[in-house]
Structure 1
Amino acid sequence: MEKPNEVLMREALGKRNCRDPEAESHQFRADEGENKEVLARLAWEEAFWDDLEQSYGSRPVRRDTEHAETKASWRKMDLATASQKAAAAAAAAAWSEDEEDDDDPDREALRFRKRWNYIWSEHFGSFEDTTLIPPMRFTDEPPVERLYPSTTLQIFSAKVAGIGGGFQWPLDVFGLVAIRDSVDENRNIIFQRSRDECQTITGEDPYLELTGPTRAVVLWDPLTIEVYLRVKGPSELEDKTLCFLAEGMICLDRVNSCLLHETWTSKYSTMEFTLGHINASVEATISVRVVDGSWPDGFHGQFVACLVGTHWFDEVPAFYSSTSVDDKEIVLLSFGDEKVPAVVDGVIELSRRVVSVETTSKLKVSVNAWQDDNNAVEAWEEFSAKERGRSFGTLDVGFCKMDVIVGWSLVTDYPEPRR
């Protein structure tokens, strides 16, 4: 038999853990049916909020006044709907492998899709949706609430580091690589090609030609890199999956901005990413416009961005990475002598144009032009980081003079549901 003080302690703990006032008033009733109903309701509620807290670190709240209605509806989510979501998420997590298709190259990627649909689809739309948040969001207009420089993820390169399953170089690949951050949980595309415009990669040059991100990537849990690459065959029926994975990244605090190297293996291939953890950073959006002359036929060219002068504490031990991101190149556009860059109203169409810049560093934008390894010409400009506004510079390679414009913006790290 329990002692009186033990009974009091048990009841007090039960009341403390009971978040629903109505449930609290019924919790210790003698009616067994009511008790079961209340306890089930509490269990669903607890599972739902545990799931959200695990994903966000706290309850997601949008701080933008233009989305006040969305924020209100998020907080007033119907408990029954929440319970269904939590139950579905739990069912997905416990999904039996026997129910999977044995031909699927990576079952965990399928589970990720199912979990995403169960947990996020109500607020962030379809699994295939791409982010609607544009770059240069606060370049001209300040944010409603005070924002500060954020920790962001720089994407330097992505390559197919190894192949198996009968695949042989070269490979004509198509598909997508995307990153999902906690701001809107939608795809931020960094590589995407259709079957008709596949990229040929070789063992000597296995790097994907990246085209993103379209906005700065917030380095805050949860963050997932999603890869779905296929190899083009003689016909569509003979296309094969090369890589199918969805991998989460643990976002650790670091004293210095530094390089990160991530390697993930799927059933038939290994992907290797070179990334940058950029502390106290802002978003830079780069555009280049020809103002005099033109790019001549027969000349190779490459536009590159990099950070210089990032804050670095040599005396602080570096865990996980001790390599500075200084001078690590981000290829904005690269083309051979047979391909002159597309120009619309003088503006060169860059493959990539969004870069994260530490506020204490500078952004260096350069162009290289050469013809058959001869007559190489280089020009560059450096820009001090800003929280908003624009910076202007000029690249002059003799035969062509170009203006460089950098739009600066702070980055929000608050969740922004679509619905």
Structure 2
Amino acid sequence: NLRLEEAVDESGFLEPFFYDEAEVVAEAAAAAERRQREAEEKAAEHARKVDEFRRRKAAHQAVIDRISEYDPKTGEVCYTRFFNRDFSEFDIDEESPLAPMRYTHITPSKYTNSLGRQVYDVSDSVNILSVKIVSSDLGFPLKVYGTVIARDYLDFKCVYLFRRRREDYQLINSEDQSLILTGPTRGLVLLDRIYFEVDLKIKDDQGKKDQELSKGLCVIDGVLMGGEEHGHVGCEDLDSRLSTVEVKFAVVKLSVQAALEIKILKGDFYGEITACTSSIQDRLVLHDSKAGGVIYTTNKRSNENFSKY
């Protein structure tokens, strides 16, 4: 038997139950307000995404509309510039910031080295040999100005091959004469397609409006050429407006980029400097005084760094 003071009153473990209606109503109201706020935030986020989608779609479509034109020569509406990007984010006019000679300290290899360091592989590339107006509805000579742009897999941004203002036109006397190219300023990689955008005009000195000589897009398909074992010379033609433009190129298998420097030790140089490889004999023009001017010597020596790769 336990003494009375040692007895435990089980009712002491029970808390009294009180129903506070006001508190319950307040909690329900707070929960409803929270759900309403979350619904409003979700609706606002959805509206923001819809507005962003519409803005990006409109920005993309504006560029697509700008680069889609009717060509009277072909009778078709076609793209005149590179089109395979989201133009709400991609600037179609931005020049490629990639410089040449970026990996001169790296030895190309096809294998992972024993130290597990990053391996730099070599790939196929393209040398631009010439860009010619092989036919003209207006005949020759022609005072030509405008741009020829290349884009490759590295960033698909503008790499200029030819760029002249109206007052700096080039006189083309025949279909055998190439445009004087001042690019590319780095090697063009043939991993995917290489796109060429041509926008050439004819300067008119008779008081008439300048005419569009050629405007459009042509492509070198690197995927189709990837299976070929040897380098070769090829051409892509653009038949548009008042002419046919031929882009002549050389595919170089497993290439590396070379930079050349020529020093004029005595006298001044006016002429043309070209280069070729043992496998492809077609000449690549490195310097043409008609475009770059005379190389003058100062202090008995002059260096000429070439911007074409």
What is the TM-score normalised by the length of structure 2? 0.67
- In structure 2, the gaps of 5 or more residues are 1-48, 109-116
Aligned with 2:245 (options 254, 271, 274): 271
Q: Alpha-carbon deviations, 1:141-187, whole Å to 9, x = none?
A: 789942111111111111000011xx231011011111011211111
**Aligned-CA RMSD value:** 3.7
Match of 2:170 in 1: 199
For the residues of structure 2 that align with 1:128 and 1:283, how far apart are their CA atoms?
A: 25
Paired residues of 2:133 and 2:175 also in contact (CA < 8 A):
no
Q: Aligned-pair distance for 1:279?
A: 0.8
Q: Alpha-carbon deviations, 1:252-288, whole Å to 9, x = none?
A: 2111011112122012110112111111001112122
Distance verdict in 2 for CA 1:81–1:139, change over 3 Å: farther
Amino acid at match of 1:196: E
Distance verdict in 2 for CA 1:238–1:276, change over 3 Å: same
What is the TM-score normalised by the length of structure 1? 0.51
Match of 2:234 in 1: 260
Match of 2:125 in 1: 152
- Greater gyration radius: 2
Paired residues of 1:283 and 1:354 also in contact (CA < 8 A):
no
Q: Alpha-carbon deviations, 1:267-315, whole Å to 9, x = none?
A: 211011211111100111212223x32226xxx532111111x4xxxxx
Distance verdict in 2 for CA 1:266–1:103, change over 3 Å: closer
Amino acid at match of 2:151: R
Where do residues 14-413 of structure 1 align in structure 2 (5 Å cutoff)? Answer: 107-110=77-80, 112=81, 115=83, 119-120=86-87, 122=89, 124=90, 126-140=91-105, 145-164=118-137, 167-203=138-174, 205-234=176-205, 238-251=209-222, 252-253=225-226, 254-290=228-264, 292-295=265-268, 300-308=270-278, 310=279, 325=280, 327-335=281-289, 340-342=294-296, 346-349=301-304, 352-355=306-309
- In structure 1, the gaps of 5 or more residues are 1-77, 311-324, 356-419
For the residues of structure 2 that align with 1:250 and 1:229, how far apart are their CA atoms?
A: 23
Match of 2:26 in 1: none
Distance verdict in 2 for CA 1:80–1:152, change over 3 Å: farther
Q: Aligned-pair distance for 1:328?
A: 1.7
Q: Aligned-pair distance for 1:120?
A: 4.3
For the residues of structure 1 that align with 2:154 and 2:168, how far apart are their CA atoms?
A: 31
Match of 2:24 in 1: none
Aligned length: 246
For the residues of structure 2 that align with 1:276 and 1:79, how far apart are their CA atoms?
A: 47
Instruction: Give secondary structure in 1 for the equivalent of 2:93.
Output: coil
For the residues of structure 2 that align with 1:130 and 1:222, how far apart are their CA atoms?
A: 18
For the residues of structure 2 that align with 1:102 and 1:223, how far apart are their CA atoms?
A: 22
